[in-house]
Structure 1
Amino acid sequence: MAQLELLNEQGQAASKVDAADAVFGRDYNEALVHQVVVAYQANARQGTRAQKDREQVKHTTKKPWRQKGTGRARAGMSSSPLWRGGGRIFPNLPEENFAQKVNKKMYRAAMATIFSQLAREGRLAVVDSIAVEAPKTKLLAAKLKAMNLDHVLVIADNVDENLALASRNLPNVLVVEPRYADPLSLVHYKKVLVTKAAIDKLQEMFA
């Protein structure tokens, strides 16, 4: 069984919590993590950029100069892709699809690998629970400051309205439920704080 630090309200390690090796004790697989993170970012792309081909650019179709006798290269029209301001040969289209497929087994393995590495690096900690009495940003900010946490991903078993509203205006804090934890956020934040009940849910999802 993997051992995770259980923090008190002052951010000090009070004791240890047992966790499944399948999720928190796996060997690090850098290639797998890289593939899943890149796929996650690619799948978030909208693909709305567009470029014009030589038919769509606004240019006259008049021949710029006569075919022979000028000493210059032959030119048919200024919309040529060879010219500055001309149309693209293979333009990017609005319906471009950047999606990359990642099967469930790979995704689960990558998430478990990330959680395991976070635990080894001391970037993953557990708390009994986290909640605020009112939807006030300063309440949650004070709670995190007391624990010496300023750039943190909080995975809570239940994110109620108070916690969601209190966290959304803190620039370096993200509070999510286990099902919304994503590989990019896990890699990005300096510290990951998980509630005890959320540990059980994560083990169900990724073991």
Structure 2
Amino acid sequence: MAFDAKINYNILDWQGAITNESSIEIKIVEDTAKYVVHRALVKENNNSRKRTASTKTRSEVRGGGKKPWKQKGTGRARAGSSRSPLWKGGGVTFGPKPILSNLKMNKKEWRLALRTALHNRSQNIKIVEDFSQHFENPKTKVLIEALRRWNISPTNKILIITNSLLSGISLSARNIPNITVASVEQLTVSQLLQSSSIIITVNALSTIQEVYND
């Protein structure tokens, strides 16, 4: 059964003070929510695997076209090619090969999974006014101080969602291993579920509501 879930939140400014109170309504389907979220996680985890391991078969190993020795009279076992898997430097039997196995998911299902994850993590989300102007010159120290003003520990796993991927914020966060900066277009369900704290700018929240709430 589909219903509109209402999330109330406070908007924080750069200094950490509450400037406004607002709410957002997102569409949730209670019956299939967990199933859809699980499917989205399986899809993302599967598609993130590289699977590039590769070995050569006996037909791909260079050389070995000549018979190593004659068939009879040498006292040694018969050999037709030095590329045989039995030989050192020969081909590999049933070795790994690159695999392309991307799982697919309907766009509406993925959007439902994203909205469900947002709803489930609503207690860990902080909405902040746009702060890109403070990172015209990237500085990690400035970002850490801002996190503390927002009552977020820099040692937690943090996800920062912006309307578009801003180089200043990304460069300021790249020295902190547990912080991920993502734009609305790059947002994934696994990022939402694996983060201890989630920071969303006001502009990014409006874009999420417009793009994914259908």
1:158-173 pair list within 5 angstroms: 158-173=164-179
Q: TM-score, normalised by structure 2?
A: 0.71
The match for 2:188 is 182
Whether the 8 Å contact between 2:11 and 2:22 is mirrored in structure 1 is no
Identity of counterpart residues, as a percentage?
Answer: 23
CA RMSD of aligned residues (A): 3.5
Matched, 1:33 2:37: yes
TM-score w.r.t. the length of structure 1 is 0.73
Which structure 1 segments of 5+ residues have no match? 67-77, 81-85
Letter in 2 for 1:169: N
Structure 1 moving runs of 4+ over 4 Å: 9-15, 52-57
The answer to whether the Cα contact below 8 Å between 2:33 and 2:112 also exists between their aligned partners in 1 is no
Q: How far 1:7 moved relative to its partner?
A: 4.8
**Do structure 1's residue 107 and structure 2's residue 129 form an aligned pair?**
no
Match of 2:141 in 1: 138
2:158 alignment counterpart: 152
1:5 maps onto 2:9 in alignment: yes
The corresponding residue for 1:124 is: 125
Deviations, residues 75-124 of structure 1 (Å, cap 9, x unaligned): xxx947xxxxx9434x3212x112111121211111111111111xx122
Greater share of strand:
2
Aligned-partner Cα distance in 1 for 2:59–2:165: 53
- The secondary structure found in structure 2 opposite 1:97 is coil
Cα deviation code 1:112-144 (max 9, x no counterpart): 11111111xx12221222332421111111111
Aligned equivalents of 2:8, 2:163: Cα separation in 1: 17
Post-superposition Cα deviations, 1:133-187, rounded to whole Å, max 9, x if no partner, equal 4211111111112223232111122443322221222211112221111112111
In structure 1, give the amino acid aligned to 2:125: L
